[in-house]
Amino acid sequence: MGHGLSRLSIGVIGLSLTVTAFAGGPSGCSDLSGVPMTFSVLYYDDIQPLFSDNDRCTGCHGGLAGLFLEPDFSYGNLVGVNSSQQGGLLRVAPGDPLNSLLFQKLACDNPAVGSRMPLGADPIPLAEQALVMDWILLGAGFDTDPLFRDQFEGS
């Protein structure tokens, strides 16, 4: 049985919200409509590695840039937290990727504030941008605490 909504139709709904939410919003965003939607995204298994792998994000956001994206801090520094660059804009607005600065910075040439990330490097692959979008669309959930995960899996 299909879910009835695709990233494209959800994105169109989100785009109408973005236009009314704030003027001068993001532009030049990647077209992710061709990337299959992922309906099960785990924060520590799927999203945190995007920040940590090869120090792509944690090289700067491990303390130097004021936003800690290290595994022990990232979720709490992102979800429902106001941007330090523009008050009223959340770093991650659960259910609303186009109004989430994290998604804008990863997927848009001109985010609402600041520059596209990773700074001075090629954008992350479309599949990874789409994964972040899907995680936010699905509510930016927090999976089981990694300290206790092994006690529940395979035991």
Give how many domains the chain has, as a whole number. 1
Please give the residue range of the domain that contains residue 70.
Answer: 39-152
Q: Is residue 141 part of a domain?
A: yes
User: Alpha-carbon distance 66 to 63, whole Å?
Assistant: 6
Q: Tens of pLDDT along 46-73?
A: 999 988 876 677 666 666 556 888 888 8
Residues 110-152 pLDDT 10s = 999 999 988 888 999 999 999 999 999 999 998 754 444 444 4
Which residue has 């299909």 as its token pair?
A: 2
Q: pTM of the full predicted structure?
A: 0.76
Looking at residue 86, its pLDDT comes to 85
What is the rounded distance in angstroms from the CA atom of residue 23 to the CA atom of residue 58? 31
Question: How far is residue 8's CA from residue 13's CA, in Å, rounded to a whole number?
Answer: 9
Residue 10 belongs to a domain? no
Look at residue 16 and tell me if it is in a domain. Answer: no
Assigned domain for 17 exists: no
